[in-house]
Amino acid sequence: MTDAQAIDALGWERRTFPPSEAFKQNALVSDTSMYDDGAADYEGFWARQAADLLTWSKDWTTTCDWKLPAAQWFVGGELNVSYNCLDRHVLAGRGDKVAFHFEGEPGDTRTITYADLLDETQRFANVLKSLGIVKGDRVNIYMPMIPEAAIAMLACARIGAAHSVVFGGFSALSLTDRINDAEAKLLITADGGWRRGEVFPLKQTADEALLHTPTITDVVVVRRGGNEVSMQDGRDHWYHELMATADPVCPAEPMDSEQLLFLLYTSGTTGRPKGIMHTSGGYLTQVAFTHKYVFDLHPETDVFWCTADVGWITGHSYIVYGPLANGATQVMYEGVPNFPGNDRMWQIIEKYGVTIFYTAPTAIRTFMKWGAQEPAKHDLSSVRLLGSVGEPINPEAWMWYQEHIGGGRCPVVDTWWQTETGAIMISPLPGATTTKPGSATFALPGIGTELVDENGEHVEHGGGYLTLTQPWPAMLRGIWGDPERYHETYWTRFPGRYFAGDGAKLDDDGYLWLLGRVDDVMNVSGHRISTTEVESALVSHPAVAEAAVVGANDPTTGQAIIAYVTLRGGAEVDEQVLRNHVGTEIGSIAKPKAIYFTPDLPKTRSGKIMRRLLRDVAEGRNLGDTTTLADASVVSELQRRASEVPPED
């Protein structure tokens, strides 16, 4: 964990940024009364938000039914998520409002109104039905960042099928595992998508995955890349062909508030990814609430742009469900930030008049490296609010963002949350909160957090473990197929409360400073990858006997994956071959930045790998206590190698 860094930050980071009078004047929230409401009665608070922000077909009878670790919100209530995201806006006369300004990487554009989105969603919902998908089924989605990804998700929601989106950068093996765990019947994919000026062959990867997925009966393929694909007769269908003959009307059927909306797989401390379960009423309430108030959304005038991929929770909550429930106008961009030039993001902001921009610290640090002259080429005066998510943002990056993208006039909201929390939990309210660069500030209204020590005792000041003390509407409802693991993973470390896996500090003013993970989960460019997962991938290569993986601080990606590998007797293998092997097993995001070969790993006498030492070595620190090592010479040898072979940039 990045403890030392944050202690540093606390040492010198004293700048404060109160909201400007100009911002306050138009802000939805400009005082602290909402916090009092949330604290007085959190259930009542969320019930008021659910009633205010969403349209229900049937009222609930119980706001929250909480029997640790099982929560149900708005019990007995019924609503349709896609109706809330689409129909009600169109019915209210806002059908012509732009839902998405889509910008393809090659520069092609599409303007999609709420009426368009509703039309496509209804047709596609009928396509799903015609392929035998019924309420309760799981549908896998493996797509580039194109509007059809959102349409597919909304169409599933419309008929009560749960989607399971797998990020398009994951490997065939990862896709196979996730399809099989969810027992999905249908896969929705595309021929390919654009990335850095080239088409990546998504369907080809999907075909590999589909060799081992007995539950999949049909595959729908969106044409995007124009690349050649093979279509299997009877199984594979072109999206545009099915849509051409689909019935245009598919009424939104009311669903139970606790109807499973989606699964999203995420890494934990052990090898197998967890299918995080999110349901309908509570999830939509909190994503709509946070999208509205954290981003101070004025749907009539704002243009919101969240740069995440729909394959991650941020894309689910702040591209699809939150913004659409609130009737927002958004930008959706398909490609990378440096194609064709390093100013692509700023060019897009200028082109569409983006007012609210939400991205990750790793991206901000990359923009810093590319230089302030890039944003300076464009008129960014439309921007009025900036957001950050995914990992701790260092004060320097926060300041650069505020100055060079926000022109010194925009509030910056650092938002802490997780796949499991479903929606933002800790963040400033931009019209009410005085921010400090690098701090996510306070828990939102209606959310309970507490820092505790090793023994679960309250921490008033200084470092501790971040826990959540009460249920919240968008909380995960479980791990698909593994209720025991759900209880064990989140609710047993500190009995009675949820443990998020993160460390944090409280300063003199009660501000929270998130410090990163305290478990064996790395955070690389805002993506969670478990050390065990990468180790298993390495060990699955025939040349590898043993592997230890650690996350080392990295100036751009937050953490970088460093692997220490012991080969089988007589075996030889190139570092690049092993990196690619991990890419094949998990996906490119999990490829180690550096691999060090070593005849032995540092172990305690009881045989436990000493990761702390390996992290110290990887980060070039002086080693602390090594007396518990079985063989101390192993470490000095590793240190010698680390200083010889600097990790590539």
Of 74 and 416, the one with the shorter C-beta distance to ligand WT7 is 416
- Gap between the Cα atoms of 153 and 316, Å rounded: 9
Strand partners, 164: 140, 263
Shortest separation between residue 312's beta carbon and ligand WT7, angstroms: 6
Of 257 and 330, the one with the shorter C-beta distance to ligand WT7 is 330
- The residue within the footprint of ligand WT7, chosen from 280, 290, 314, 525 (CB under 6 A), is 314
Shortest separation between residue 10's beta carbon and ligand WT7, angstroms: 15
Shortest separation between residue 264's beta carbon and ligand WT7, angstroms: 9
Q: Is 505 in the site for ligand WT7 (CB under 6 A)?
A: no
CB 71 within 8 A of CB 65: yes
**CA count, 13 A, side-chain hemisphere, 540:** 16
Q: Is the dihedral of CA 331, 332, 337, 338 positive or negative?
A: negative
- The residue within the footprint of ligand WT7, chosen from 71, 98, 313, 610 (CB under 6 A), is 313
CB 426 within 8 A of CB 443: yes
Q: Which of residues 522-561 bind ligand WT7 (CB under 6 A)?
A: 523, 526-528
CA distances from 647 to 529, 599, 611, 619 (A): 19, 19, 18, 10
Q: Is 328 in the site for ligand WT7 (CB under 6 A)?
A: no
Shortest separation between residue 567's beta carbon and ligand WT7, angstroms: 32
CA distances from 572 to 379, 517, 577 (A): 54, 34, 11
Number of residues that bind ligand WT7 (CB under 6 A): 24
**CA count, 13 A, side-chain hemisphere, 425:** 26
CB 570 within 8 A of CB 525: no
Of 117 and 325, the one with the shorter C-beta distance to ligand WT7 is 325
State the virtual CA torsion across 519, 461, 45, 53 in degrees, nearest 10.
Answer: -60
Choices 250-258, 486-494, 516-524, 576-584; region in contact with ligand WT7 by CB under 6 A: 516-524
Shortest separation between residue 466's beta carbon and ligand WT7, angstroms: 8
Q: Which of residues 360-419 bind ligand WT7 (CB under 6 A)?
A: 389-392, 414-419
Q: Which of residues 84-143 bind ligand WT7 (CB under 6 A)?
A: none
CB 322 within 8 A of CB 360: no
- The residue within the footprint of ligand WT7, chosen from 337, 406, 431, 501 (CB under 6 A), is 501
Strand partners, 611: none
Shortest separation between residue 84's beta carbon and ligand WT7, angstroms: 22
- Gap between the Cα atoms of 2 and 189, Å rounded: 38
- The residue within the footprint of ligand WT7, chosen from 64, 325, 514, 590 (CB under 6 A), is 514
Q: Is 502 in the site for ligand WT7 (CB under 6 A)?
A: yes
Give the position of tokens 């591209």.
319
Shortest separation between residue 391's beta carbon and ligand WT7, angstroms: 5
CB 241 within 8 A of CB 222: no
Of 163 and 237, the one with the shorter C-beta distance to ligand WT7 is 163
Q: Which of residues 255-274 bind ligand WT7 (CB under 6 A)?
A: 266
- The residue within the footprint of ligand WT7, chosen from 516, 551, 592, 602 (CB under 6 A), is 516
Please name which of 467, 465, 460, 422 lies closest in space to residue 443, comparing C-alpha atoms.
467
| Chain positions contacting ligand WT7, by CB under 6 A | 266, 313-314, 389-392, 414-419, 440, 500-502, 514, 516-517, 523, 526-528
